[in-house]
Structure 1
């Protein structure tokens, strides 16, 4: 796979089959770069408080239990945000939804300096939690722009670089705070610091709206209007015309076309028969014209699919673990190795910054094995990475009892696999129910936040005994990875198909 190609190659639906990372070429590469950068800015602002919360707690006399409660509500509110944002992406497109999330989240982020007690901290972190919903339009955007053969790489790259926001905030916020504190004092410095991430969110939202588009074929709402008009024309055709060979392609629904084995891209004239192609090509475009009632009914049906439930659990064991550790990693090193807050924060930033390549590696492995084993290969990649995640989390639980260099090395390994599993998860998600991708992505994304709440509670109960907390995390991830992947079925493919001789 070439990341620095001279030109973008597209399939028959206009989706890119390669990358040109060094450019902002419209529309594919611009959408990719805007997607990951928007999510990174959102993530940075979402987690702007933990790196300097020790200064806030000291100034306002906030109890540790209130800090943990604030950590949990910031993750909890994102569950609702992601569930709502998924269908909104299907209706209004990823670009407008991303802009809205950034603008709405920037307001409470900039107002963080107005809090005066622990309750205020909890409330403001809950409202800021809407920024965590930016993950859904990020993934939805790249899924619209890139072909099935590289969609896992595109999704993992955009989400992984976006998740770097957790590491960036651990570098940026203490630096901003220290720079301001030299001139104003601690009490004013932390209050002013939050204006910076809020302002960045606003600027990026404006850039998204003005300089990018939703799909290779143009603006989402224009395509949605075309789909509505096409459906209306189709409903006016009588039964005789409906059955004629030259008109059926223009009036069939995406579901009907998918059942007949067609690859569907709404809003384009291209149509290719998918029978005899690889499993990874069996991906259709979402429906843009569902009514609210249809959306609610479909939402329930999608949620009940076993593959969706398994992916929710697996994302809880990957992103959920990451979110929980983002909140405490600085404290873990500060408490165990008697480090000052800034030094502990800088070490903790390594955990988030590894998203530069770790999540991408999960997507690359998923796409690589898919070329040989199709969807069964994606499941194999996912299983392997989850097992390694669990084993290294268990190893880190013992490494905390050794020395600082050993603990840092083990943190690098377990964080790599935690984030790689996020990438392999979204190497599978676009194939579970392509016609309802927004809903599936919203549900699975929300699953990550549910895991974040559960594991934040775990850290709260175990602290300061972090060794036991990481041991439990490792065992849970290992068990869920083995059991879930052995049961997972996507488009009638399981990991067991690797052993039936068809890929020999």
Structure 2
């Protein structure tokens, strides 16, 4: 009977999952449409290696705060409106990038395009609205894994399109086409998708501007976890100013001052949003432990953060270790990303089947062992064994990502967007931190460092609390009596 009830209430959820996954896929195609054309851009614009590095930073920097901000907007305005507008508005800097005729134009358009990387957060809330809590892990895994494939699709398809269009402007046409697809799909998405199934209320936060917490201790925790979001932007500013000498000391100090101002403003908003609630007391059914969010932040830091870093260095690692050609090393390294199609949904399914906490515990331990295995890869190894170890490690990394986002929607329904945004931001922070470490150490020590972080994260996940699935499902349908009566009638 429960299965029939879910089937009636969530009718059309597969269609919504398909359209939402495609939206996420398109955002990643647009976000990563520069990568296949790096050599072309270097030749066309006579770019130095430092300028290429600056474009890479520009393509990442604003994604981190954007994921937090977009999470707030999703909770307030609903995913349909936010996702469709994100696709349409950010087609503009995509067109600007395709039409650029100077390095400055390339960099500015890439900075704004980085925001589209926050699209992932939107779909997490939308998918969680359309699936019962006992199935949300697999659904989010499919969404994350197949949407993430957009980065690989960009690397495969866009160079081919550039060749088809031919000439010196082939790359421009290919990139502009991704912007045109995003623009058109934004209109389609707005017309086809709904925020929730019929009869279910879209729950919004009582106040906007900061995450709702339920104790003074959690407020302190939220403030502490907010600091790295601005700290990593300060580090990127340091790289642009004092390492790459792209901006002057004056501009760098100004940016750092602006970041400090926004950090203090964010701290004030955390206090302002939560002061009355904490003063008057939080009802027992409204409470949740912020430690859940903090542990998920660190888990995604280790999983998605390490994936971002490893995917960036793996072609070079295989090329140098086994004396392969660039094409051969790139093909082998791509297996790490391709595992997303199976691994991330697999992690979500395991969470649905065996429990959120237990699954994440096991996968984090497997992730640590996987990176220890990769640290032992040497030139004397059979290359087939090295590939097998790499793919095995990749499974635990991406299944871990699926397990993290199987739990994110179950922390607190009406702030799922904000929780998802913070967790997603920590994934990008992890990528930046691990890549920075790689610039100073050998590949072996790099893999060991990630393994150590995963071991620490494993012990942290032991303190997670398994979500109460029945209570969460009841809260999903909790409305006023009149609305409840209407839903019940529809089900019957």
TM-score between the two structures when normalised by the length of structure 2: 0.72
> Does the 8 A contact of 1:31 with 1:212 survive in 2?
yes
1:174 corresponds to which residue? 159
Shift of 1:147: 0.5
> Does the 8 A contact of 1:358 with 1:417 survive in 2?
yes
Instruction: Give 3-state SS (helix, strand or coil) of 1:399's partner.
Output: coil
- Match status 1:200 vs 2:185: no
Shift of 1:344: 4.4
Shift of 1:389: 1.4
> Does the 8 A contact of 1:113 with 1:194 survive in 2?
yes
2:478 corresponds to which residue? none
1:412 corresponds to which residue? 391
Stretch moving more, 317-326 or 149-158: 317-326
> Does the 8 A contact of 1:392 with 1:410 survive in 2?
yes
- Superposition map of 1:95-494 within 5 A: 95-115=80-100, 120-180=105-165, 183-184=166-167, 187-217=168-198, 297-298=273-274, 305-337=290-322, 341-370=326-355, 378-399=356-377, 401=379, 402=381, 404-462=383-441, 465-480=442-457, 482-490=458-466
> Residues 23-82 of structure 1: CA distance to partner in whole angstroms, max 9, x if unpaired?
xxx631121111111111111221222233233234434333443443344233111111
Distance in 1 of aligned mates of 2:159 and 2:382: 25
* Aligned residues between the structures: 397
> Residues 121-161 of structure 1: CA distance to partner in whole angstroms, max 9, x if unpaired?
54333221111111111111110000111111111111111
The structure where helix makes up a greater share of residues is 2
Distance in 2 of aligned mates of 1:345 and 1:294: 45
Distance in 1 of aligned mates of 2:386 and 2:103: 32
Distance in 2 of aligned mates of 1:340 and 1:191: 28
> Residues 374-405 of structure 1: CA distance to partner in whole angstroms, max 9, x if unpaired?
xxxx1111011111112212322332534543
Shift of 1:113: 3.2
Distance in 2 of aligned mates of 1:219 and 1:196: 37
- Superposition map of 1:55-74 within 5 A: 55-74=40-59
> Does the 8 A contact of 2:125 with 2:409 survive in 1?
no
1:23 corresponds to which residue? none
Shift of 1:94: 1.0
Shift of 1:224: 7.8
Distance in 2 of aligned mates of 1:316 and 1:157: 20
Distance in 1 of aligned mates of 2:384 and 2:40: 27
Distance in 2 of aligned mates of 1:468 and 1:61: 35
1:271 corresponds to which residue? none
Q: Go from structure 1 to structure 2 and tell me whether the alpha carbon gap of 1:122 and 1:409 turns closer, same or farther (over 3 Å shift).
A: farther
- Superposition map of 1:74-93 within 5 A: 74-93=59-78
> Does the 8 A contact of 1:78 with 1:446 survive in 2?
yes
> Residues 408-450 of structure 1: CA distance to partner in whole angstroms, max 9, x if unpaired?
3332222221110011001222222233222211111211121
2:481 corresponds to which residue? none
Distance in 2 of aligned mates of 1:393 and 1:294: 37
> Does the 8 A contact of 2:203 with 2:414 survive in 1?
no
Q: Go from structure 1 to structure 2 and tell me whether the alpha carbon gap of 1:451 and 1:188 turns closer, same or farther (over 3 Å shift).
A: same
Distance in 2 of aligned mates of 1:178 and 1:471: 41
2:6 corresponds to which residue? 11
Distance in 1 of aligned mates of 2:115 and 2:304: 16
> Does the 8 A contact of 1:101 with 1:133 survive in 2?
no
> Does the 8 A contact of 2:159 with 2:171 survive in 1?
no
Q: Go from structure 1 to structure 2 and tell me whether the alpha carbon gap of 1:340 and 1:323 turns closer, same or farther (over 3 Å shift).
A: same
Shift of 1:478: 2.8
> Does the 8 A contact of 1:70 with 1:123 survive in 2?
no
Distance in 1 of aligned mates of 2:102 and 2:377: 36
> Residues 272-317 of structure 1: CA distance to partner in whole angstroms, max 9, x if unpaired?
xxxxxxxxxxxxxxxxxxxx97996259999982221111111111
Q: Which blocks of at least 5 consecutive residues in structure 1 are unaligned?
A: 1-7, 17-25, 229-254, 256-291, 371-377, 494-504
> Does the 8 A contact of 1:28 with 1:146 survive in 2?
yes
Instruction: Give 3-state SS (helix, strand or coil) of 2:134's partner.
Output: helix
- Superposition map of 1:21-40 within 5 A: 27-40=12-25
Distance in 1 of aligned mates of 2:269 and 2:448: 45
Root-mean-square deviation (Å): 3.4
Q: Go from structure 1 to structure 2 and tell me whether the alpha carbon gap of 1:452 and 1:100 turns closer, same or farther (over 3 Å shift).
A: farther
Instruction: Give 3-state SS (helix, strand or coil) of 2:462's partner.
Output: helix
Distance in 2 of aligned mates of 1:492 and 1:445: 23
Distance in 2 of aligned mates of 1:444 and 1:190: 34
> Does the 8 A contact of 1:79 with 1:449 survive in 2?
yes
Distance in 2 of aligned mates of 1:60 and 1:339: 29
